[in-house]
Chain A
Amino acid sequence: MARWLVRRLAWGVATVLGVLLFLFLLFFVYAKPQDVARRALGEKAPPEVIAQWLANHGYDRPALWNAAHPLDTMLADHYRRMLTFDFGRSDADDVPIAKRLRHGVGPSLSLTVPLFLLGLPLALVLALAVAFFRDSYIDRVGVVACVLAMSVSMLIYILAGQFLIGRLLRWFPISGFDPDPRVIARFVVLPVLVGLLAGVGSEVRFYRAVFVEETGRDYVRTARAKGAGDGRVMGRHVLPNAAIPILTNAVMEIPFLFTGAILLESFFGIPGLGSITVDAINANDFATLRVMVYLGALLFVAGQIATDVAYTLADPRVRLG
């Protein structure tokens, strides 16, 4: 296990370093900081203002090679900043990126945590129910409904939710966010509902398939033969045995709770981490974009390792090595 973990971590580090190199090539070699400066300062900016901006952001150094000071290059600086989490300032408006991330975590979590905490149990309960009523009309209609639900794009749910629930029925504000505890619930409920609806179809169908497969196994027949009731069979026997695929799905999601839900945040105007990425793209804010891609890669690698470890904890048959 320990050796496996070390090897896995080493691969993870190599992956992240590779992502950083790729980011450097994309944002310093392909798209030049001079172009970013022009966009940030506008067409009216004279050349000396642009030079000063480049100097202020540390973009006035040689890109790859500096004979006098080998470490005073943009490449070295890029790695140093990322690896020490010293992210510097946004290209678009000079706000410290760390500050922006700090401010974005709260709104993102207020959306993704309810989504995760409600979504997983909801999907499991519905999947158990559908699997429980297997081959009845509830199962068939349920599966058809799931397939329909997962075939519709997230955007449609968002727009339909805003139009129907926000505009026609006037239950909630159609978009926006305010961390003020007096009103925050009004803003969060609609995106959470939309997120649940958009995600629940595929999850229910997936978990149902898992449960149905499990209910056909020998141990279930044995349990029934020993007189276990339906509820006990589903809850005590099927659910734990189906844990591996559930874990794969769920543990992988946890790191990304922090990066937010890009589409939901953008369309509902929630100032979380997901919309930071979109905003950064729109504003040509490459400094922020680099950080978001880097953090995404870190979390992805972390999520994968966490999932693998979770396997061993959930299922004693799985050995890593």
Chain B
Amino acid sequence: MRGRAAALALLAAALACGNDPYPDADASARILYVPFQEPPKTLDPQVAYSVYDHEILSNVYETLLEYHYLKRPYQLIPGLAVEVPTPRALGDGRVAYRFELRRGVQFAPDACFAQDGGGAAGRELLASDVAFSLMRIADPKVASPVIETFARIVGLRAFGERLTHLRESEPGFADLRIDQQYARAGPVEGIRTPEAHVLEVVLGAPYPQILYWFAMPFTAAVPWEAVAWYDGRAGRDAFGEVAVGSGPFRLARYDKRSRIALERNPSWYGIQHPEWKAPAATYPSEGAPGDAERGLLADAGRPLPFLDRIELRLEKEPIPAFTKFVQGYYDRSRIPKESFEKSVHEGGLSPAMAALGMRLERSVQPAVYYLGFNMIDPVVGRPAGERGRKLRQAMSLAIDSSEFLRIFLNGRGIPAQSPLPPGIFGHDDQYRNPYRQPDFERARRLLAEAGYPGGVDPQSGAPLQLSFDTGDTTVQGRLRFQFFIDAWRRLGLDVELAATTYNQFQSKVRNGAYQIFFWGWVADYPDPENFLFLLAAEMSQTRSGGPNTANFADPDYDARFQEIKDRENDARRLEGIRALLAILERERPWIELFHPEDYALVHGWLHGVKPSGLAVPVWKYQEVDPALREAQRSAWNQPVRWPAYALAGAVLAFALPGVVSWWRERQ
């Protein structure tokens, strides 16, 4: 009975509180509340490669360059650097970049700075810290996924090899402090710090896209003290579990399984020195067309950041997350499929949601999803010659991307005509790929020309059998793949779904034993090279383990790709890209499906939200109105108490007659 009394007391206490998941004291604070569906895998900037990792990292660490928050196509602005450098040719084919860093930028205070006997106060960020980060990329122990890209820096790969050699051959070397190890294995020929605030990077060959990489967390300045201190030993965290940066926010709490919190970093240069009016520390006063009308320039010229804290809560299931958003406990939300009809009406906000003062933010992501053919397959690939090409063309004509988007993604995406999404140089809004407009008549003709009239393979007399290979065995996956298979069945082709475990699928891919697959690519940086390289022969999956899963190898394509890949965005590059797209249009290694579109709902009290598909430090640009939020929350969340009383009454009414009659009998 005491248990029940305790339960009732707890119930009463909790009932009095209502459904507010946050402490009452936080109601008036400038806190941004956002859900996260998956925790970061690691916070090591040189290793982290997922959207979730970068969402946190880009706000805590800083890079030499950043992206302009509002302008599209994406444009680089100086971050830690004073300006965006221009490449300087060194004559022997090498290219040098000279970054001048801001003076007086500080790392946030952290226990790791005390290991030399000094205090835990931060220290100044210098060019050598960026150099240290670049060297970490080459350190095999760090296992950075982007070493291939940075190996273009002269001598960087050799540095990594020297490091491994010293660690293996020299006793005690591996136990030296990390900065001492790097100093012994260094210097790297292509990374120089002629002055404390100047970093020079030399590439072996022109690669203009390298500047984009200096806006990604991989190149974020990392203090060696943090790497040395946080080694995962003696009760200390591993470096991937902490963040010691110089950014506008610092990590206040990192509980990956429920809550991550960032708080304003008072030692950030933007807060210390608003008079610098640094581009990455001031709200921009220019934006893309339409930004002014959407109120995105209201804060123009104000020093950043606006928020005091960012609270992220783990929400694995989309529906509870969305419910809490509608209750006002999250400031922005994705729209789950189940709530789409309710939230979006004809591409705009539904009246019900508009009445709550929300906004809808739409943006096409720099990504492409596609069906690929394994081009080394004897039936669908290049060995089949003209027959294979016509088969691929016919299969491409049968797939209706708009219908796929409508059925499976609530229309959230635009049908792809080529691998290049909007906002990427070389994308043409007017271009219509002749093989990507659904046309069954033409498809059947092509199929007949390929030697498969009505989809029938003359050798066997039965419909041509193909296999659609996937590592996705979920029900949703099967439904999606069935959509493609049904379309091909209308041509008379017999495509079988070979859904295996992800591991088995991967081993099929490594062995080249697959025919058709579904895949996607999200850009690392906004450059056409980052899409078109997916079809370069040197990136072939089966031959070299690269991302060219279609194993497409076309000498003409490769030659033209070499021409455009390192060029500036000029007329010749555009011409080259057109030629590449023409090859893809004809050869059809891919059936380009769609570029996904992000729909986000934002409450009326959150300002300065511009979606971006790249690792952009968005939170420093965002602003909340806590008074409006608190008023709305309490208006929307009054608990309904009468059912509790009704239930208690009903239980009493049910049991009372029995107890009374037992009592009477006893008397």
Please give the residue numbers on chain A whose beta carbons come within 8 Å of chain B beta carbons, in ascending order: 31-32, 35, 38-49, 52-53, 56, 92-96, 100, 103-104, 107, 114, 117-118, 121-122, 125, 133, 136-138, 141, 162, 166-178, 180, 182-183, 185-187, 189, 192-193, 230, 266-267, 269-271, 275-276, 279, 284
Q: Is B240 an interface residue (CB 8 A)?
A: yes
Given contacts A42-B50, A170-B637, contact A266 B258 (CB under 8 A): no
Proximity bits, B236-253, A CB within 8 Å = 1, else 0 = 001011000000000000
**Is the Cβ of A93 less than 8 Å from the Cβ of B240?**
yes
**Is the Cβ of A42 less than 8 Å from the Cβ of B256?**
no
Q: Is B355 an interface residue (CB 8 A)?
A: no
**Is the Cβ of B238 less than 8 Å from the Cβ of A185?**
no
Q: Is B193 an interface residue (CB 8 A)?
A: no
Q: Which 5 A-B residue pairings sit nearest by Cβ, starting from the closest?
A: A271-B257, A35-B503, A271-B258, A138-B658, A173-B21
Contacts of B40 in A (CB 8 A): 93
Given contacts A170-B638, A183-B21, contact A46 B313 (CB under 8 A): no
**Is the Cβ of A189 less than 8 Å from the Cβ of B255?**
no
Report how far A276 CA is from B256 CA in the complex, Å.
Answer: 12
Contacts of B147 in A (CB 8 A): 46, 48-49
When C-beta atoms are compared, the residue in chain B nearest to A136 turns out to be B658
When C-beta atoms are compared, the residue in chain A nearest to B239 turns out to be A94
Report how far A45 CA is from B50 CA in the complex, Å.
Answer: 12
**Is the Cβ of B255 less than 8 Å from the Cβ of A103?**
yes
**Is the Cβ of A42 less than 8 Å from the Cβ of B141?**
no
**Nearest CB in chain B: distance from A219 CB, A:** 22
When C-beta atoms are compared, the residue in chain B nearest to A145 turns out to be B654
- Counted as pairs of residues, one from A and one from B, with CB atoms less than 8 Å apart, the total is 175
Report how far A47 CA is from B323 CA in the complex, Å.
Answer: 43
Given contacts A42-B49, A162-B320, A174-B19, contact A48 B140 (CB under 8 A): yes
Q: How big is chain B's contact interface, by range? A: 35 or more
Given contacts A136-B658, A178-B259, A269-B314, contact A171 B18 (CB under 8 A): yes
Contact of B317 among A175, A183, A230, A284 (CB under 8 A): A175
**Nearest CB in chain B: distance from A165 CB, A:** 9
Report how far A137 CA is from B41 CA in the complex, Å.
Answer: 58
Report how far A175 CA is from B14 CA in the complex, Å.
Answer: 14
Report how far A310 CA is from B41 CA in the complex, Å.
Answer: 45
Q: Is B23 an interface residue (CB 8 A)?
A: yes
**Is the Cβ of B506 less than 8 Å from the Cβ of A125?**
no
Q: Choose the segment among B5-13, B284-292, B397-405, B596-604 that binds chain A (4+ C-beta atoms closer than 8 Å).
A: B5-13
**Is the Cβ of B41 less than 8 Å from the Cβ of A93?**
yes
**Nearest CB in chain B: distance from A107 CB, A:** 8
Give chain B interface residues in 462-501, CB to chain A under 8 Å.
none
Which secondary structure dominates chain A's binding surface?
helix
**Is the Cβ of B4 less than 8 Å from the Cβ of A121?**
yes
Listed A/B pairs (21) with beta-carbon separation below 8 Å = A39-B503, A41-B145, A49-B144, A52-B143, A95-B241, A95-B256, A117-B3, A118-B7, A121-B4, A122-B4, A138-B658, A170-B18, A170-B637, A170-B640, A171-B640, A178-B258, A182-B23, A192-B7, A271-B255, A271-B257, A275-B257
**Nearest CB in chain A: distance from B336 CB, A:** 14
When C-beta atoms are compared, the residue in chain A nearest to B1 turns out to be A125
Contacts of B315 in A (CB 8 A): 175-176, 269
Contacts of B314 in A (CB 8 A): 269, 271
When C-beta atoms are compared, the residue in chain A nearest to B326 turns out to be A167
**Is the Cβ of A42 less than 8 Å from the Cβ of B145?**
yes
Report how far A35 CA is from B502 CA in the complex, Å.
Answer: 9
Proximity bits, B122-155, A CB within 8 Å = 1, else 0 = 0000000000000000001101110110000000
When C-beta atoms are compared, the residue in chain A nearest to B13 turns out to be A185
Report how far A182 CA is from B25 CA in the complex, Å.
Answer: 10
Contacts of B637 in A (CB 8 A): 170
**Nearest CB in chain B: distance from A27 CB, A:** 12
**Nearest CB in chain B: distance from A179 CB, A:** 8
Report how far A121 CA is from B22 CA in the complex, Å.
Answer: 32
18 extra interface residue pairs, beta carbon distance < 8 Å, beyond A49-B144, A173-B19, A186-B17: A38-B506, A43-B547, A46-B148, A49-B145, A118-B3, A122-B3, A166-B320, A171-B14, A171-B644, A174-B323, A174-B324, A176-B315, A178-B258, A189-B11, A193-B11, A230-B666, A269-B316, A275-B257
Report how far A116 CA is from B416 CA in the complex, Å.
Answer: 56
Contact of B258 among A35, A177, A183, A186 (CB under 8 A): A177
Q: Is B93 an interface residue (CB 8 A)?
A: no
Q: Is B383 an interface residue (CB 8 A)?
A: no
Contacts of A192 in B (CB 8 A): 7
**Nearest CB in chain A: distance from B318 CB, A:** 12
Contact of B6 among A52, A118, A186, A279 (CB under 8 A): A118
Report how far A238 CA is from B255 CA in the complex, Å.
Answer: 49
Q: Is B385 an interface residue (CB 8 A)?
A: no
Report how far A133 CA is from B655 CA in the complex, Å.
Answer: 10
Q: Is B119 an interface residue (CB 8 A)?
A: no
**Nearest CB in chain B: distance from A226 CB, A:** 18
Report how far A193 CA is from B10 CA in the complex, Å.
Answer: 11
**Is the Cβ of A94 less than 8 Å from the Cβ of B654?**
no
Given contacts A44-B145, A269-B314, contact A121 B3 (CB under 8 A): yes
**Nearest CB in chain B: distance from A112 CB, A:** 15
Proximity bits, B510-552, A CB within 8 Å = 1, else 0 = 0000000000000000000000000000000000010100000
**Is the Cβ of B143 less than 8 Å from the Cβ of A166?**
no
Q: Is B441 an interface residue (CB 8 A)?
A: no
**Is the Cβ of A166 less than 8 Å from the Cβ of B50?**
no
**Is the Cβ of A35 less than 8 Å from the Cβ of B506?**
yes
Report how far A67 CA is from B25 CA in the complex, Å.
Answer: 65
Contact of B145 among A31, A46, A162 (CB under 8 A): A46
Contacts of A189 in B (CB 8 A): 10-11, 14
Contact of A141 among B11, B240, B502, B654 (CB under 8 A): B654
Q: Is B662 an interface residue (CB 8 A)?
A: yes
**Nearest CB in chain A: distance from B619 CB, A:** 21
Which of B22, B240, B641 has the most chain A CB within a 10 Å cutoff? B22
Q: Is B643 an interface residue (CB 8 A)?
A: yes
Q: Is B232 an interface residue (CB 8 A)?
A: yes
Contacts of B347 in A (CB 8 A): none
Which of A42, A104, A125, A174 has the most chain B CB within a 10 Å cutoff? A174
Contacts of A95 in B (CB 8 A): 238, 241, 256
Report how far A96 CA is from B50 CA in the complex, Å.
Answer: 21
Q: Is B179 an interface residue (CB 8 A)?
A: no
When C-beta atoms are compared, the residue in chain A nearest to B15 turns out to be A171
Q: Is B20 an interface residue (CB 8 A)?
A: yes
Contacts of B4 in A (CB 8 A): 118, 121-122, 125
Contacts of A41 in B (CB 8 A): 143, 145
**Is the Cβ of A46 less than 8 Å from the Cβ of B545?**
yes
Contacts of B329 in A (CB 8 A): 173
**Nearest CB in chain A: distance from B55 CB, A:** 15
Given contacts A44-B49, A185-B14, A266-B316, contact A39 B257 (CB under 8 A): no
Report how far A207 CA is from B380 CA in the complex, Å.
Answer: 66
Contacts of A187 in B (CB 8 A): 21
**Nearest CB in chain B: distance from A26 CB, A:** 13
